[in-house]
Structures are given as structure tokens and as C-alpha cells.
């Protein structure tokens, strides 16, 4: 379902979103790897920064979805990233949080979810939880999302391999 999961076409098919506005989020592609970080929000406000793709794919209720992606951290400090799979309208959301040690090369992670209601537009988000670059960025590559008709799990599963 994901288009341009290897980022060979840059940020094509991907969107960025940030609060208080996009000037607090830095994202780009280098050597086919998505790199991003969020800047600290002004004092007294909350910040958020996300790279996302709306697939346009409808998914029935009770369907299992498998996502696989490579995550890394090129900064000098440990960072936390949230990966979300959801219907674009936000009515059904599954989240996995991963801690990435400083200077971690790309390695495979996975997420498995089962929809609790029908989705009109399956969407995947990579959310920068830790602010600042600290000399580097979050790294994302090799993103895939598929339906899994043979799956027997009933809850969201998050795994770093």
C-alpha cells in the first residue's frame, strides 16, 4: 500500500506536518534515506513533527496489517520515535514507540495491527517525539505496509529486529 517506501523519489507521496508550524520541522532525503528532526517549540507551546503517507487504501474492520520499516538515529543522543497506523480521519489509531540509541544505523522494525473498524484511507506516520537534532536526525527507509489475511494476532505488536 505504501508508495515510494525506499525514498528513491525523495519525499514524493509523503507529507510533513508540524506544530506550531512547518518551520519547526526539518525533513529531507539523502542517499535514498528519509532524515528528519523537529526543532523545540516556543516556550509555553507544544511541538510535534511528523512525516506521513495517506495510502488511499480502504481496509475492512478486523483486518490485520503488517508494516515493516528501517529506523536509525544519526544524532549524538537517544531519541524516541512513534510509528502510527490509522485511518486518515483519526477514528482508529494504533501506535508503537521505539527508542533509538545515539548513532544507531538503520535496522529493521515491524508493526502489526488489526483494525477495529473499517478504514477509508490507511495512513502511516513517523512522528519525531524527541526534539532537536543533536548533530543528526531520525532515519527511515524501506517502508512497506500490507494486509495479512493469515494473521491470528488480536492486539498491536511492535518489534525491533
Quick one: pLDDT at residue 150?
77
Q: Is residue 7 part of a domain?
A: no
Quick one: pLDDT at residue 100?
98
Quick one: pLDDT at residue 151?
77
Q: Is residue 10 part of a domain?
A: no
Tell me which DSSP letter residue 42 carries: P
- Give tens-digit pLDDT for 62-110: 999 999 999 999 999 999 999 999 999 999 999 999 999 999 999 999 9
Quick one: pLDDT at residue 71?
98
Q: Please report, for the domain that includes residue 33, its CATH number.
A: 2.60.120.260
Full-model pTM: 0.95
- Give tens-digit pLDDT for 108-149: 999 999 999 999 999 999 999 999 999 999 999 999 999 987
Quick one: pLDDT at residue 152?
79
Q: Is residue 3 part of a domain?
A: no
pLDDT band at 161 (very low <50, low <70, confident <90, very high): confident
- The domain in which residue 139 lies consists of 15-160
How many separate domains does the chain show? 1
Amino acid at each position: 500500500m505504501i508508495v515510494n517506501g525506499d525514498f528513491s523519489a525523495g519525499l514524493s507521496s509523503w507529507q510533513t506536518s508540524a506544530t506550531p508550524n512547518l518551520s519547526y520541522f526539518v525533513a529531507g532525503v539523502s542517499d535514498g534515506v528519509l532524515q528528519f528532526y523537529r526543532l523545540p517549540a516556543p516556550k509555553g507551546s507544544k511541538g510535534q513533527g511528523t512525516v506521513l503517507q495517506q495510502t488511499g487504501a480502504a481496509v475492512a474492520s478486523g483486518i490485520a496489517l503488517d508494516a515493516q520499516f528501517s529506523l536509525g538515529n544519526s544524532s549524538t543522543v537517544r531519541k524516541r520515535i512513534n510509528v502510527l497506523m490509522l485511518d486518515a480521519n483519526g477514528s482508529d489509531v494504533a501506535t508503537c514507540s521505539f527508542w533509538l540509541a545515539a548513532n544507531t544505523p538503520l535496522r529493521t522494525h515491524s508493526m502489526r495491527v488489526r483494525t477495529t473498524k473499517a478504514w477509508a484511507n490507511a495512513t502511516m506516520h513517523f512522528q519525531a517525539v524527541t526534539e532537536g537534532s543533536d548533530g543528526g536526525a531520525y532515519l527511515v527507509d524501506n517502508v512497506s505496509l500490507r494486509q495479512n489475511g493469515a494473521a491470528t494476532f488480536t492486539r498491536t505488536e511492535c518489534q525491533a529486529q
